[in-house]
Amino acid sequence: MTTSMPTSAPPRIGAFPALVGAELRMVVRDTAGLVIPIGLPILILVMNGLGIEDAVLPGTDGLTVFDVYVLPLVLAVVVATIGVVNMPSFLATYRKSGVLKRLAVTPARPSLVLGAQVAVSLAQTLVGVVLAVAIAMLMFGAGLPRNLALAVGVFALTAGAMYAIGLVIAAVVPTANSAVAVGLVVFFAMGALGGMFGPVTNLPPALAEVGTALPFGAAVQAMSAAWVGNVPDLASIVSLVVTLVVGGAFATRFFRWS
């Protein structure tokens, strides 16, 4: 059951940038929330880069296994840790402490807090992506996607889907600790089935099908296709779009402000 909020005054000009600044300071002070979403993907990147063969894949115009499989996987890990684990914990903290309810009667309405959190999460995601790509190129000679525009579009869709999952978690969990716990379970479940711990082809066929249908696996598959310049499978795009639309609609309907 949702909670109706009292009518508030229109937001002041500049309220949103102030909220973004406050959110950014909170993220910077939260060492684990700042380091893990960037440090974990970088660790995965470096470990795979040091241990994987750099043989060129046939028909990829000079791209390697690292380029086509590892780098898309790492980018998916970046956006998933921030969207599925970090963001719900911050929002659950605000609700538990009464911040969202108190903001309802001020010019900075609760919806602006959601927008500010998404903006900061997106900025953190971009930092992680740029850092991962830079390390991949400088240390391991990784190549850019053969269809850069398509890869960017797929990544944006991936971010939307992961943030939608995070908002669903934030909508149903009561505390920050439970948000982190649920977020980690969802993240590792999707990652395990989506290739984070090894090729999906090593899984039983039924689990492999499930993994590639879930948003994490779909994101890795779609970005890998874009990396070699191919159009992603329709099933991968549908998975991400459905997650974004259904998750966003659910969070909008059932998000509890207090």
Spell 146-165 as b/e; 16+ CB within 10 A means b.
Answer: bbeebbeebbebbbbbbbbb
Can you tell me the distance from the alpha carbon of 194 to that of 203, in angstroms, rounded to the nearest whole number? 10
Per-residue pLDDT, averaged over 78-84, amounts to 94
Give the pLDDT confidence score for residue 118 in this predicted structure: 83
Of 218, 208, 217, 209, nearest in space to 238 by CA: 218
pLDDT at 1 over 50: no
Per-residue pLDDT, averaged over 199-217, amounts to 93
Give the pLDDT confidence score for residue 81 in this predicted structure: 94
Of 109, 110, 83, 77, nearest in space to 170 by CA: 83
Residues 6+ apart with CB under 8 A from 50: none
Residue-wise pLDDT for 9-53, tens only, equals 444 546 678 778 877 777 777 777 678 888 889 999 999 888 887
8-state DSSP, 64: B
- pLDDT category of residue 80 using cuts at 50, 70 and 90: very high
How does the average pLDDT of the chain come out, rounded? 85
Per-residue pLDDT, averaged over 117-140, amounts to 91
pLDDT at 6 over 50: no
- pLDDT category of residue 162 using cuts at 50, 70 and 90: very high
Of 71, 53, 201, nearest in space to 146 by CA: 71
- Tell me if 179 sits within 8 A of 100, measured CB to CB: no
pLDDT at 2 over 50: no
8-state DSSP, 142: P
Give the DSSP letter string of 29-46: H-HHHHHHHHHHHHHHHH
Q: Which amino acid is at 256?
A: R
Give the pLDDT confidence score for residue 5 in this predicted structure: 45
